[in-house]
Chain A
Amino acid sequence: MNLHDLRRGSDGPVPRSSRLLVTAVAGVLLVGAVAVATAAGGAVSQQVSAEERQLIAVLQSDAPKAEKAISCKRLVVHGTSACTSALGPLLDDPQLVSWARIALEAIADPSAAAVLRDGAARLEGRSLVGVINSLGVLRDQEAVALLTTRLQDNDAAVVAAAAVALGRIGHPDGTDALRTTLAQVDAAGRSAAAAGCILAAEQHLAAGQSAAARELYDQVRQVDVPQQQVLEATRGAILARGADGRAMLLELLRSTNRQQFDLGLNIARELSGREVTIALVDEMLSEGAQRPELLAMVIADRDDEAALPALVRAAATRSGPVQLVAIKAIAEVGDVSCLDNLLELATAADAGVRQAALGALETLPGDDVDAELLPRFAGADAASLSALAEVAGRRGLAAANPHLVKLIQGSNDDLRAVATTALGETARLEHLGILISQATGDTGSDRAVAALRSASVRMAERDVCAKQLVSALSEANGPVRSAIIEILGSVGGETALARVAEIARSDDEQLQDVASRVLGEWMTADAGPALLSLATADVDKKYQVRALRGYLRIARQFQLPKSERAKMAQAALEVAQRDKERQLALEVLERYPCRKAFEVAIAAADEPATREAAEATLHKMLERTFEDAIDAEQTAAHLAGGQLPDVRIIQASYGTDEKQKDVTKALRSHAGGLPFAVLSGGGKYNWAFGGDPAPGEEKQLRVKFVIDGQIKSAVFAENEPVLLHRGDNSAKTSETSNGK
């Protein structure tokens, strides 16, 4: 049995027995006529397409409900006013009403609304709620009277739906009815009306009709409705008043009711205006302020410079959370004028204040801040110098390097430590030597090594940096040498790679351990040969597994041609001593199927050590390629230990007889020399070949190819698995001749 004996039928609109009745295929079929329907552009063509006629026929037939349901879904694309009357009767079917509404809401023309209104006049229960919801979505003005009547319905769900629909429609008559209902005794009715009123008020507000909005919101606030609705109305009432609403806002911010206070914080972020900012600042600084730290956050978020003086004052004079938040808020709204205040706070006795100020100095915006920081180094005391150095580092301020170098060369250990860390963030290539000396010298520390790492990984002149690091290896002690090897790994590049590879093969056990690990985690594919070499040459096999895994990591994860990955897997299979690494190599083949990958897997299936695993890999490769379109297990067994035929695609075209596109290049790319094609987009031709050449029509893929020296032709129905074969057993093959 060979590949072409195992092919099954192509996908069609009817699903495979084990699958859902109606599947994704429906989606693909939809697309065709869409272009036709919109060919003229603008409004949907009211011309009834053949597709729509077919769908209407299904709706009016005795077809199973499943077919009617999916027809509704397809009418979203194909439907016009011609189908709405056929959708109407479906509203009476509790199982199909939701499907019919999908189509009617989408078509959304007057006839669709009329069908829904008819439904609303005769339906009840959930179905009625559904059509009312749809009328609200369509904002059907003609439904206002009908919906107003439904406000008095005995079914609370119907009342709620009608109120929301009226709120969405926003017609004055509907809004009046909602306001009347708001005064009802029935709590559910009041709540429903409140929901509608809030929606209607929102529309007024969006349209700039603040007075009308305010009136509605205020009315809702005055009736007994659930707290959440009161909150919504209160928010609207304040926003409708604009800056004049700040008194109401402050009232919320003074409330002991958590929900009201939370709402106040929300609104304080929404309501714009300098007066509002000032009122909030005053409130934050007042003696009785609730959670002033939360108000400070609000003020920072408002990004209004009017708040800055008060924030600076709070940072300087307050304590606790308010002070901390005020300092951090300055970073958001402040400028260079805040520099001295923050520098002073950065030397405060309280560690929390100090860190907050340093954080603020780090993020304070503006180049002028950088420029103003530099002169402050001169004449500063030790505490200020420490703060300045830290800020320079955090801001990446390279212009501060001379000051930092001076501090490193000074006698104050604390300042030297801070400046070393800072220089790690600001150093240029010329400062690398200083950091190397700090790291490798007698007083070398973890901090100095960390600074060296920070600086090294930023150096644009990677190889120059690596050379300096390599030179430093001879001067460093054991732990620092290990650290430098790791830094070389982070720096990368040819120089670093060569040296690390060399150390990995050295006889220094400790360094070999570090270097082989670093090599195994190398971030570029050029480490492959070094890793393979280490895996091969590692005489006592101590690091063979590590090296081989690093090598396979590159084959699996890095950007490489598929054939290159397959070659690497092949090399790994030759070296591997354990089943675990063999399996990893086979997984590379499985993950990136191509001709070479199949060849390697087929060959591996002929080797006793890998026979079983390789056959399983072949099985998975085929399964991945064809899903269940062929019997992958049998095909894998057939391929194992055999040979792939030589295949070359001469020409391929896709489409109908009249409308075709040349897909030779694409198919060659997908097939990659294999006798079958792995198509992207779930195997769908339109995806794989860059579009639909003949929307709505039956299409074929026609392929002319050479297989084992024979020229063949084959025709595939749309989306059928592409299997190119010798043709002995396939009805698809239409022509055979000798070829080269």
Chain B
Amino acid sequence: MFQNRTSLPRRKFLKTALKAGAAAVAPTVIPGSALGKNGAVAPSERIVLGGIGIGNRGTYDLGCFLSEPDVQFVAVCDVKAARRTAVKKIADQKYGNSDCDTYRDMRDLLTREDIDAVLIATGPNWHAAAAVLAARAGKDMYCEKPCTKNIVQSLELAATMRRTGRIFQAGTQRRNLPHFAFACELARTGRLGKLKAVHAHPAGMSTGSSGWAQPQPEPDKEVVDWDMYLGPAAWRPFNKAHLDGFNFEKGGGLTGGGVLEWGSHCVDLCQWAANADSTAPVEYNPPQDGRIVARYADGVELVIREDGWLPLGSCPVRFEGETGWVEAGDSGKMVLSSPELLAGSKVEEIGGYPATFHVRDFLDSVKSRRPPKASADVACYGHIACHAANIAAFLNRKLYFDPEKHEFIGDPIANRLRSEALRAPWRI
């Protein structure tokens, strides 16, 4: 009766001979004048933005947003007073006023009717829960990765975005960089021959728990709101070692690690290359010799490996077909098995993995309602693949996964690790 947004038709990607490259990061088809780009921005075309949990990465993202003329940043929420103050200073300096409002509780920011969209850059512990809260409040959102802590959160996040009709862009900005997009297109369109394997760099494969640290004196709520910081994570006493939001409870604190942290970029690109944005590998092997090998239903291997990469910068991926291969990394460069694969294509070399294109893609989506490159549906399965690989690593055994039912086959313990209870009052 109705079609899944994951399978939104993009026929040109499937049918045409490859012409990607720069086109992959071209803005949407709406003319700039209609969108209010390049100059005067009508109030009706302005996107009023709020920020939630703006630390190091968030400040970078915010810079990308602030450089877009149709964005007006009006409020920041953070559990840490120092960060609230720092972000307010950035915004106020940008606009030459003192209008940026500050909040300690994101629910207060989300009740503001004037805010259209939010940038969520908390630690991974909060990403999914905050995104769901924002969606229920009618806000679109750009959410840093990893977006979810487990498989069920990934599914719930996507379902919530569909139900609420919100635009969600995962912070996997490599989807909007031309050389990565081009490499994926080579794989997707059969230019490498029948696809055999896609390779992703995990930046570590360990799994661990954030645990329960020695109690330390809890700061005043206005300085650090510990209860809000913990949010959906199980309670534990204050300890400043936990305040590193980047690592706290990543992957639910049970099955996190590099496969999720870096994989939410590299595995995500592999998913794209393998035409697997609405599915996930069906078989996962435990790590051996620094690599986890998973397999899609069509036999394509997903190889998550630490080493053996060409010197193309961080976050490398490699796609191998029967007749060719391509490898790309954060330097903006790529290496092809045959130069002829470039025929007819001009691929802009953009190194340093900037998020500017990804942010623009999100803003255009907010206006057009066309799903952005890293929509919740896309992010859902990329994250599921990472979580499943982590569970195989954690349990140290081979697992079979049913991507339709979203459960492991014949392994109830693995299935228990698909989700984790959230601390009240939070739920998704």
Contact = CB atoms under 8 A, between A and B. Distances in A.
A690 to B, nearest CB: 5
A126 B427 CA distance: 12
Contacts of A227: 138
A691 interface: yes
A23 B235 contact: no
B209 A22 contact: yes
A294 B30 contact: yes
A719 to B, nearest CB: 12
A682 interface: yes
Contact of A102 (B212, B239, B421): B421
B280 to A, nearest CB: 20
Given A126-B425, A687-B205, A231 B12 contact: no
A328 B368 CA distance: 15
Interface string B305-347: 0101111000000000000000000000101001110111110
B11 A303 contact: yes
Nearest to A687: B287
Contact of A21 (B213, B310, B395, B412): B213
B417 to A, nearest CB: 7
Contacts of A272: 1-3
B352 interface: no
Contacts of A106: 416-417, 419-421
A223 interface: no
A101 B421 CA distance: 6
A130 B333 CA distance: 49
A291 B235 CA distance: 49
Interface in A17-47: 20-24, 26-27, 30-31, 34-35, 37-38, 41-44
B138 A231 contact: yes
A368 B138 CA distance: 46
B369 A262 contact: yes
B266 to A, nearest CB: 18
Most chain B Cβ neighbours within 10 Å, of A69, A198, A523, A680 = A680
A348 B64 CA distance: 36
Contacts of B30: 293-294, 297, 321, 325
A110 interface: no
12 contacts: A31-B394, A102-B420, A104-B421, A126-B424, A210-B1, A321-B34, A325-B29, A333-B11, A363-B16, A363-B23, A395-B17, A458-B342
A730 B302 CA distance: 44
Given A24-B207, A262-B369, A363-B12, A105 B419 contact: yes
Given A321-B31, A686-B396, A691-B396, A24 B208 contact: yes
A27 B394 contact: yes
A454 B16 contact: no
Contacts of B236: 66, 69
B396 A692 contact: yes
Interface in A671-709: 680-682, 684, 686-687, 690-692, 695
B206 interface: yes
B413 A44 contact: yes
Which one of A73, A242, A259, A692 has the greatest number of beta carbons of chain B within 10 Å?
A73
A70 interface: yes
B209 A102 contact: no
A482 to B, nearest CB: 19
A263 B12 contact: no
A216 interface: no
B339 A457 contact: yes
B112 interface: no
A133 B413 contact: no
B3 A426 contact: no
A429 B85 CA distance: 62
Interface string A333-374: 100000000000000000010000001001111100000000
Interface in A157-195: 157, 161, 164
A265 B11 contact: no
A44 B412 contact: yes
A43 B342 contact: no
Contacts of B136: 228
B89 interface: no
Interface string B188-218: 0000000000000000111111111110000
B73 to A, nearest CB: 20
Contact of A364 (B8, B16, B206): B16
A269 interface: yes
- Tell me which of B8, B16, B44, B344 has the highest count of chain A C-beta atoms within 10 A of its own C-beta: B344
B424 A363 contact: no
A263 B342 CA distance: 40
B165 A365 contact: no
Contacts of A202: 163
A194 B17 CA distance: 49
B5 interface: yes
Nearest to A492: B339
Q: How large is the interface on A (under 10, 10 to 19, 20 to 34, 35 or more residues)?
A: 35 or more
A158 B386 CA distance: 35
Interface in A210-256: 210, 227-228, 231-232, 235-236, 239, 242
Interface stretch (A92-100, A139-147, A622-630, A637-645): A92-100
A687 B287 CA distance: 7
Interface in B8-54: 8-12, 15-17, 19, 23, 28-31, 33-34, 44
B422 interface: yes
A626 B352 CA distance: 31
A95 B368 contact: no
A401 interface: no
A57 interface: no
B370 interface: yes
A425 B28 contact: no
Nearest to A272: B3
A426 B344 contact: yes
Contacts of B23: 359, 363
B99 to A, nearest CB: 23
A328 B31 CA distance: 11
A297 B29 contact: yes
A559 interface: yes
A679 B345 CA distance: 43
B108 to A, nearest CB: 16
Interface in B328-379: 333, 335, 338-340, 342-346, 367-371
A661 interface: no
Nearest to B369: A265
Among A98, A99, A130, the one with the most B-chain Cβ atoms within 10 Å of its Cβ is A98
Contact of B346 (A130, A210, A454, A558): A454
B223 interface: no
A75 to B, nearest CB: 10
B206 A332 contact: no
Give the 8 A-B residue pairs with the shortest CB-CB distance, closest first.
A396-B344, A24-B208, A303-B9, A557-B311, A130-B424, A365-B15, A22-B211, A265-B369
Interface string A650-685: 000000000000000000000000000000111010
A66 B286 CA distance: 30
B221 interface: no
B396 A235 contact: no
B177 to A, nearest CB: 19
B343 A231 contact: no
A232 B163 contact: yes
A22 B335 CA distance: 44
Contacts of A691: 286, 288, 396
B388 to A, nearest CB: 16
Given A228-B137, A302-B9, A77 B416 contact: yes
B164 interface: yes
Interface string B271-287: 00000000000000011
A31 B396 contact: yes
Given A20-B212, A126-B425, A332-B10, A98 B234 contact: yes
A133 B165 contact: no
Contacts of A459: 339-340
B212 A94 contact: no
B94 interface: no
A342 to B, nearest CB: 14
